[in-house]
């Protein structure tokens, strides 16, 4: 007999919100049954309508707030409720930082079984607006004109916007001007359902320190209507533009970039700086979108690494060398590895650009390259990882445990997979000393963390045991997020 749920679809009920989900929805419980309700805040009381029920959880719509949180504020953005770009503008910035700290503590305890690890208060921004240096905007058509903006929540309906309060104002200006120029020259937007049209996305990159601008036109077709005139007018209309690039993506896909990129005008890169390190940024480069907080993040990574100038450091998932080059200022030697060949070319160029000769970079999977270095006698005193949201590969975790670097500095964009991997490293002979969250993305639920681990005395598990631990932790992440 199936269990009778405590609520049914279309029920109207009063609830108390206890928490936030990873995408910013309020969490309320009825007899232990969780309901996820957008716009609800912890501590609030409200009336909701149940809109969907599943076996283990349901969804609701907030109809009325009967007791508001002291951290509730009026969103600054006029299209906040329609746009899916931000999740927390209705929560004060103080409240956002507290919520993110709680998120980190909760997953470390629930998934990582690390209730006693020191978690510092989140390092936030003095001004948590206008921080993003890259804007990539899907383009559509409405009433004969081009529109561009973020997708509406849980849809592919574009919400047209003139300004975005988390973007650098320069990027807003660039996107608006490029839209106008393309429309005036007869460029048609990409029609996703029909797989017709030309212009899929406009991307703008802005060098905060250099003032340089890159415009990227992402198209379905190799040709673009009146391409020559479009380029000429962009150059004339946008001060600071140094690069205009076309990327061709002919596939039916949600992925923004295609495989082919070609320069239409100017230079292939623009430049920007984080601290004393200058970076060349191409259309496809991964470069942190919040340079002010990136400096905070990397300074913390340097502090946790505790370099004296005598250490060998390995930077797994090194990208274009951002962290590697910071580390190289204080280390004897830095080795960086990244699976994307173009990123390694950028890393090498950035090392040369800054006159850094003690950094070496290799293309490949970290879990394959690092054991090869180890066999050649490269032993890391400090190993730094900055993996994608899925966390570290199991082979890399095993390599870290076998290599036994004295310190591991783990930079993470996903607290859940961080907690999973910390547990595995703890079981493999490491101690998590402290975790420092950094708010790289104000007004959203995302939070970055830097963790410091040190090698302790103990016996490493065998490879089979480590694999079983990894599978177990993946299951816990899935069940708890």
Q: Are the beta carbons of 421 and 445 closer than 8 angstroms? A: no
Per annotation, catalytic residue among 77, 83, 164, 413: 413
pLDDT at residue number 462: 46
Q: Are the beta carbons of 46 and 72 closer than 8 angstroms? A: no
Distances (CA, A) of 418 to 327, 394, 421: 21, 13, 5
Q: What is the rounded distance in angstroms from the CA atom of residue 454 to the CA atom of residue 408?
A: 6
Note the pLDDT tens digit of each residue in 347-402.
999 999 999 999 999 999 998 999 899 889 999 999 999 999 999 999 999 999 99
E strand or H helix at 96: helix 93-110
Note the pLDDT tens digit of each residue in 42-66.
999 999 999 999 999 999 999 999 9
Q: Are the beta carbons of 61 and 51 closer than 8 angstroms? A: yes
Model confidence at 314, in pLDDT bands (50, 70, 90)? Answer: very high
Q: What is the rounded distance in angstroms from the CA atom of residue 396 to the CA atom of residue 421?
A: 10
Domains of the chain, by residue range, sit at 12-67, 109-124+286-480, 134-274
Q: Could you tell me which residues are beta bridge partners of residue 214?
A: 205, 243
464 is catalytic: no
Residue 2 has pLDDT above 60, yes or no: no
Comparing CA positions, the residue from 157, 161, 159 lying closest to residue 171 is 161
Residues with Cβ within 8 Å of residue 365, at least 6 apart in sequence:
337, 339, 393
Q: Are the beta carbons of 318 and 342 closer than 8 angstroms? A: no
Q: Are the beta carbons of 301 and 411 closer than 8 angstroms? A: yes
Class of domain 12-67: mainly beta
Model confidence at 458, in pLDDT bands (50, 70, 90)? Answer: low
| pLDDT: which is higher, 280 or 460 | 280
pLDDT at residue number 478: 47
109-124+286-480 carries CATH number 3.40.50.150:
yes
Class of residue 403 by CB neighbours under 10 A (exposed 0-12, middle 13-18, buried 19+): middle
pLDDT at residue number 316: 95
Model confidence at 82, in pLDDT bands (50, 70, 90)? Answer: confident
134-274 carries CATH number 2.40.50.1070:
yes
Q: In angstroms, how far apart are the furthest CA atoms of the chain?
A: 71
Residue 465 has pLDDT above 50, yes or no: no
Nearest-5° Cα angle at 415, 275 to 23? 100
For the chain, give the mean pLDDT.
Answer: 93
Query: How much is the pTM?
Result: 0.90
For the chain, the distance separating the N- and C-terminal CA atoms, rounded to the nearest angstrom, is 28
DSSP annotation string for 309-324: S--EEEEES-TTTHHH
pLDDT at residue number 191: 93
Provide the 8-state DSSP code for 339. Answer: S
pLDDT at residue number 409: 98
Q: Do the domains spanning 12-67 and 134-274 agree at the CATH topology level?
A: yes
């Amino acid at each position: 007999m199936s269990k009778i749920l405590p609520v049914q679809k279309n029920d109207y009920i009063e609830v108390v919100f206890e928490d936030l989900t990873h995408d910013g929805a309020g969490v309320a419980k009825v007899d232990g049954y969780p309901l996820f309700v957008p716009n609800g805040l912890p501590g609030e009381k409200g009336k909701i309508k149940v809109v969907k029920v599943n076996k283990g959880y349901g969804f609701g719509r907030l109809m009325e707030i009967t007791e508001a949180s002291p951290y509730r504020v009026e969103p600054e953005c006029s299209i906040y409720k329609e746009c899916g770009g931000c999740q927390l503008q209705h929560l004060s910035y103080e409240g956002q930082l507290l919520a993110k700290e709680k998120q980190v503590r909760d997953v470390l305890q629930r998934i990582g079984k690390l209730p006693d690890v020191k978690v510092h208060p989140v390092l936030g921004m003095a001004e948590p607006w206008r921080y993003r240096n890259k804007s990539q905007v899907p383009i559509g058509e409405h009433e004969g004109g081009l529109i561009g903006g973020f997708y509406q929540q849980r849809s592919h309906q574009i919400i047209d916007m003139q300004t975005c309060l988390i973007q650098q104002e320069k990027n807003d200006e660039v996107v608006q001007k490029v839209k106008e120029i393309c429309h005036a020259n007869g460029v048609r937007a990409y029609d996703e359902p029909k797989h017709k049209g030309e212009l899929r996305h406009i991307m703008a990159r802005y060098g905060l320190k250099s003032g340089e601008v890159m415009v990227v036109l992402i198209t379905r077709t190799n040709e673009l209507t009146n391409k020559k005139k479009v380029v000429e007018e962009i150059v004339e209309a946008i001060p600071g533009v140094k690069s205009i690039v076309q990327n061709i993506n002919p596939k039916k896909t949600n992925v923004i970039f295609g495989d082919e990129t070609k320069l239409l005008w100017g230079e292939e890169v623009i430049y920007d700086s984080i601290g004393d390190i200058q970076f060349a940024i191409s259309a496809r480069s991964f470069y942190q979108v919040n340079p002010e907080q990136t400096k905070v993040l990397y300074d913390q990574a340097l502090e946790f690494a505790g370099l004296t100038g005598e250490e060998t450091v390995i930077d797994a998932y090194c990208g274009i060398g951002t962290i590697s080059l910071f580390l190289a200022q204080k280390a004897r030697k830095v080795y960086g590895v990244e699976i994307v060949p173009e990123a390694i070319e950028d890393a090498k160029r950035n090392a040369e650009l800054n006159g850094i000769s003690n950094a070496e970079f290799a293309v490949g999977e970290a879990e394959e390259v690092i054991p090869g270095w180890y066999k050649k006698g490269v032993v890391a005193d400090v190993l730094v990882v900055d993996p994608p949201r899925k966390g570290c590969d199991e082979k890399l975790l095993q390599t870290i445990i076998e290599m036994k670097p004295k310190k591991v500095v783990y930079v993470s964009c996903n607290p859940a997979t961080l907690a999973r991997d910390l547990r595995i490293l703890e079981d493999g002979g490491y101690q998590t000393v402290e975790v420092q969250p950094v708010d790289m993305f104000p007004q959203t639920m995302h939070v970055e963390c830097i963790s410091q681990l040190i090698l302790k005395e103990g016996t490493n598990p065998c490879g089979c045991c480590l694999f079983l631990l990894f599978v177990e932790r993946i299951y816990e992440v899935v069940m708890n997020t």
